[in-house]
Amino acid sequence: MDLWSKTVWGIITPVTLIVFSFHGETKGEVCHSPLVSNLLPSFFRSSSQLSGSHGPGFAKLNRREGAGGWSPLSSDRYQWLQVDLGERTHITAVSTQGRYGSSDWLTAYLLMFSDTGHNWRQYRQEESIGAFPGNSNADSVVQHKLQQPVIGRYVRLIPLDWNPKGRIGLRLETFGCPYNSDVVSFDGRSSLLYRLIPRPRQATRESVSLIFKALSNSGTLLHAEGRSEHSLSLQLQKGRLLLTLRRGRSSSPASQHMVSVGSLLDDQHWHQVTVEHHSTHLNLTVDKNTLWVQIPPRLTRWDHDQMSVGADQALGSQRSINRNFHGCLENLEYNGVNLIDLAKQRDQRVTLKGNVTFSCDEPVFVAMTFTSPQSFLWLPRMSERSSSSMTVGFQFRTWNEEGLLLTFDLPKQGGAVWLYLSKTRLHLQIHKSGRAPLELSAGSALDDGQWHSVELTSKRGHLSVSVDGGEGDTANASPPFPVSTDGQLFFGGCPSEGSSDQCVNPFKAFQGCMRLLTVDNQPVDLKKVQQRLMGNYSHLQIDMCGIIDRCSLSHCEHGGSCSQSWSSFHCNCSDTGYSGATCHSCKINALFTVV
């Protein structure tokens, strides 16, 4: 089923962006102050500029300095204008305008947000695929209020279309208000331990809420327990949120109740979680989506007097049973009490373990999204190593069962190498002139949307291809010829037919995300690639991973099972008694008896 329709995007959009409360606003205050007009030129950046007077610093709404706005060196869809707001800010609206006194304006654009200037996230209005309508002339102002306001420090606008009789030209303004928060960071070994004493009295409605940004796909967010041995845990497991209610330390089904919700929560973006406890049920909310959870009578008690954050380590214990959380938490509250503020004040009820910091410092992973069958990345091999050895590594994530990951020619036109996905496994195929094809395979279920690492190594007559390092699978061979190249490396696909590049792809093109590319153990600078300073590419989104889980909201009705690819999902209605795209049509006509 094709998802690029208004109906389904209206369903998908609520999971795309996070809705935060208006911290920093007083009651009744409107969050709509201009954010750009007073910024210095150094807070503006762009992909290029037509001249010094067309620079990004001239892109302020209603201003006429310079050439009256920003225009890039060339008008294409790889251009962008970026504004640094100075700190994380609550953003509620965006206005655009063409370049003053010209024929240059945008007619459509994409809007991106980021905390760091990397790992961008595309904003999508409800009932659309993300494009904002632009202007119809150079001077009128078109404003779009964001249906779901966002938090971000950096705003990036990417032109999609412009006046056909002119070129790209832009002035802009964003609107919003300050955003205040308390943040704590964990390195995967650290944690906070709280004594909830005096213990909050039993109430008809109690809650715990937090916002998190994960740097790994699994780990314990928090673990709370009381003297009655009733406990509550929130954990990430392969990018999903797992809530566990348990009595005692037993893992038997009779002593615990588990609920899993969400998906792709390891995307290094902020996600909000709220657990509201009522007498017989919980409301579990992840971002905008709330799940009503019936509590078994044996697990309804909520008498926590201690909480471990970042680990499930109880007070007095030396070991954590599950993996610790690696990432940042923000605005952690238990029954209305700001727990991060207590830790920052060194409250005696709080114990810090390991390297706990009150900021969110995160590594920069520049990812790229292969959006279509026309996507490819070409890189030259820069190493001066011997042509008899070679190492290439990268990480990828996708929903597709098939797709080309890497291809290159052997030296002196001696053959070709293809590394590709087929039937959810990784395959290596080498065609050498005058010899039988060499084939290796490794891994399984690599279309699960998780990040998987790949390393291809050829050295001293030994060839290996590994998936997910020591935790995964490795295939080996000893070919009687060197597997290397002194030419070009193609990732994801090949240039279109008729190009001068020597690249042949007998498989489907890859659609998904890649990051952490290395060639001969040297990292590839994808920012240089984006600036056209190294290699070449087409139909790539660089510095973002645009993967979306189309099955996370379970669009399949009446028990139908959901499967997906990069651009669509499918409902299997077998044994449900229903048919249709989402198992919504009853197969059996109802029989009515008139008495």
Of the candidates 302, 340, 349, 121, the one whose C-alpha atom is nearest the C-alpha of residue 204 is: 302
Helix ranges (H only) for 144-291 are none
pLDDT at 590 over 70: no
- Whether 200 has a pLDDT exceeding 70, the answer reads no
Which helix (H) or strand (E) covers residue 9, if one does?
helix 6-12
Q: Cα dist. 379→26, 105, 263 in Å?
A: 53, 34, 33
Q: How far is CA 73 from CA 61, 105, 159, 168, in A?
A: 21, 14, 13, 9
Phi first, then psi, for residue 360 (nearest 5°) are -120, 85
- Higher-confidence position of 50 and 227: 50
**Predicted pLDDT of residue 501:** 64
Q: What pLDDT score does 186 carry?
A: 96
Report the pLDDT value the prediction gives residue 86, as an integer from 0 to 100.
96
Q: How far apart, in Å, are the Cα atoms of 471 and each of 187, 396, 428?
A: 21, 16, 20
Least confident of 203-207, 403-407, 442-446, 508-512: 203-207
Q: Which two tokens stand for residue 398?
A: 């996708």
Give the C-alpha separation, 422 to 439, whole Å. 12
Look at residues 561, 591, 562, 555 and name the one whose alpha carbon lies nearest to residue 575.
561
Residue 247: other Cβ atoms inside 10 A? 18
pLDDT of 21 reads 38
pLDDT 10s digits, 225-254: 988 888 899 999 999 999 999 887 777 777
> What span, in angstroms and rounded, lies between the C-alpha atoms of 83 and 154?
6
The pLDDT value given to residue 16: 33
**Strands 191-195 and 304-309, bridge-based pairing:** antiparallel
Q: Residue 13: what pLDDT?
A: 33
Q: What is the pLDDT of residue 433?
A: 83
Note the pLDDT tens digit of each residue in 376-432. 999 998 765 556 789 999 999 999 999 999 999 988 778 899 999 999 999 999 998
Identify the pLDDT of residue 25: 43
Of the candidate ranges 32-41, 149-158, 379-388, 435-444, the one whose mean pLDDT is the lowest: 379-388
Which position has the token pair 């959009």?
Answer: 13
The yes-or-no verdict on residue 22 having pLDDT over 80 is no
* Paired sense of beta strands 326-334 and 183-187, if any: antiparallel
319 pLDDT exceeds 70? no
Give pLDDT, residue 443: 94
- Per DSSP, the residues of 103-168 read S--EEEEEEEEESSSSS-EE---TTSSSPEE--SSSS--EEEEEEEEEEEEEEEEEEEEE-TTS--
Domains of the chain, with CATH numbers? 6-178 (2.60.120.260), 183-353 (2.60.120.200), 368-542 (2.60.120.200), 554-595 (2.10.25.10)
d(CA 543, CA 369): 8
Look at residue 142 and tell me whether its pLDDT is greater than 60: yes
Whether the per-residue pLDDT at 113 is higher than 90: the answer is yes
Q: Above 90 in pLDDT, residue 550? A: no
pLDDT beyond 90 at 68: yes
What's the rounded mean pLDDT across residues 553-575?
Answer: 85
Rounded mean pLDDT, 144-155: 94
37-53 average pLDDT score? 96
Q: Does pLDDT of 19 surpass 50?
A: no
Whole-angstrom distance, CA of residue 93 vs CA of residue 311:
38
* pLDDT for 196: 84
State what percent of residues in the chain have pLDDT above 70.
88
pLDDT higher than 70, residue 124: yes
Q: Which residues pair with 232 in a beta bridge?
A: 224, 245
Cα gap 107→387, rounded to integer Å:
50
Sign of CA dihedral 475, 478, 479, 483: positive
- Mean pLDDT of all residues belonging to the chain: 87
Q: Confidence class of residue 9 from pLDDT cuts 50, 70 and 90?
A: very low
**Least confident stretch, 173-177, 410-414, 566-570:** 410-414
- Kindly tell me if the per-residue pLDDT of 90 is higher than 60: yes
Look at residues 233, 227, 221 and name the one whose alpha carbon lies nearest to residue 199. Answer: 227
Find, among 552, 546, 17, 27, the residue nearest to 272 by Cα: 17
Q: What pLDDT digit, counting tens, does each position of 290-301 carry?
A: 899 998 888 888
Question: pLDDT tier at 537 (50, 70, 90 boundaries)?
Answer: very high
Query: For a pLDDT cut of 90, what percent of the chain falls above it?
Result: 65
357: DSSP letter: B
